Structure 1
Amino acid sequence: MNHLLRSLLVLMLLAVVPAASFAQADRQARLNQLENAKIAYITDKISLTQDQAQKFWPVYNDFTNKRRDINRRMRLLRSTNPDALTDQQIKDNLTQAMDLRQQEVKLEKEYFERFQKLLSIRQVGKLYTAERDFTREVIKRVADRRGPRGSHATDQPNN
């Protein structure tokens, strides 16, 4: 009986591991698809030439990775329940959060300067608008796919 239980457990694990791998691969494929859509969207919105694109995208990707890291660290700080912390730990977390926000502003200023060396100022302005618009569009599509969340969602006027 014990051997049968172990065999069933092994079979279940063999069934679950590929499913988890497929789920991870599917998630990665969706992220790649989203990233490709963002590249196409921004390229179109700021009218990048091929020469500009070759120089711009490595710089932009570096900026995005650094900004994503700061945001990830900020989320980790916010995910901690303040009731589970001492006053000093709360103070330290808030101080770290402010430091991260300063790092983010410093990063944005640095890359603003770098982007101006690669693009016209009009294209840089359009870049920031395109980023916001793309994010709004993704959020809207995700919300549309999920449907309304309760009856109050239909009571809100569309802006």
Structure 2
Amino acid sequence: MNYFLRSVWVFLLLATVSLSARAQAPAGQQDRLNQLENAKIAYLTDKISLTQDQAQKFWPVYNDFTTKRRDLNRQMRQLRMASPDGLSDDQIKTNLNQAIALREQEVKLERDYFNKFQKILNIRQVGKLYSAERDFTREVIKRVADRRGGRGRPESQSDN
């Protein structure tokens, strides 16, 4: 790994997870989100060995993908928030059908962007992308849990 990229990634990741919990203002949250996003960019760029030319083509496509994926996840969370106890049978059925439709949209999104990524990256890089996304998320969760005194998910429950 390029020493400079490793240093940038480590600095950004540590800065992100070590910020004080007192900085809960929206501006502070936005700063932390920006730092986390910058750390993710550095991490993914390094892990999938993007060339400068690939990076210029890849990041706009990837950002579009993550925006759409985030929107689908937000819609799923909203559906899960409704307790079945307070809903009629028809409402429960509607919510479950909507959840299935959202999962189908998510699979279609993954397939569409898998094809788009292959036009920019070689297949090994695409495989590394998915792996690096999971690794980055796992590392951030671990560091946040460590910062909070280990109140995260136990290692035995982590996704692989």
- The alignment's TM-score, normalised by the length of structure 2, stands at 0.80
Amino acid at match of 1:70: L
Q: Deviations over 1:61-99 (max 9, x none)?
A: 000000000000000000111111111101100100000
Query: What's the counterpart of residue 77 of structure 2?
Result: 75
Q: Size of the alignment, in residue pairs?
A: 135
Query: What's the counterpart of residue 114 of structure 1?
Result: 116
> How far apart in 2 are the matches of 1:49 and 1:60?
15
> How far apart in 2 are the matches of 1:94 and 1:146?
35
Amino acid at match of 2:91: Q
Q: Deviations over 1:16-48 (max 9, x none)?
A: xxxxxx701000000000000000000000000
Q: 3-state DSSP class of the match of 1:142?
A: helix
> How far apart in 2 are the matches of 1:29 and 1:148?
24
Give the CA deviation at 1:148. 3.3
Q: Which of the two has higher C-alpha Rg?
A: 1
Query: What's the counterpart of residue 140 of structure 1?
Result: 142
> How far apart in 2 are the matches of 1:91 and 1:107?
24
Amino acid at match of 1:64: T
Q: How does 1:5-154 map to 2 (within 5 A)?
A: 23-149=25-151
Closer, same or farther in 2 for the Cα pair 1:84/1:157, shift >3 Å? closer
Calculate the aligned-residue CA RMSD, in Å. Answer: 2.1
Structure 2 gaps of 5+ residues are 1-23
Q: Which one has more relative contact order, counting CA pairs under 8 Å at least 6 apart? A: 1
> How far apart in 1 are the matches of 2:28 and 2:142?
21
Query: What's the counterpart of residue 4 of structure 1?
Result: none
> How far apart in 2 are the matches of 1:71 and 1:54?
27
Give the CA deviation at 1:147. 1.2
Give the CA deviation at 1:157. 6.9
Query: What's the counterpart of residue 13 of structure 1?
Result: none
Amino acid at match of 2:122: S
Closer, same or farther in 2 for the Cα pair 1:101/1:157, shift >3 Å? closer
> How far apart in 1 are the matches of 2:144 and 2:85?
32
Which structure has greater helix proportion? 1
> How far apart in 2 are the matches of 1:99 and 1:58?
26
Which runs of at least 4 in structure 1 moved beyond 6 Å after TM superposition? 156-159
Give the CA deviation at 1:145. 1.0
Query: What's the counterpart of residue 16 of structure 1?
Result: none
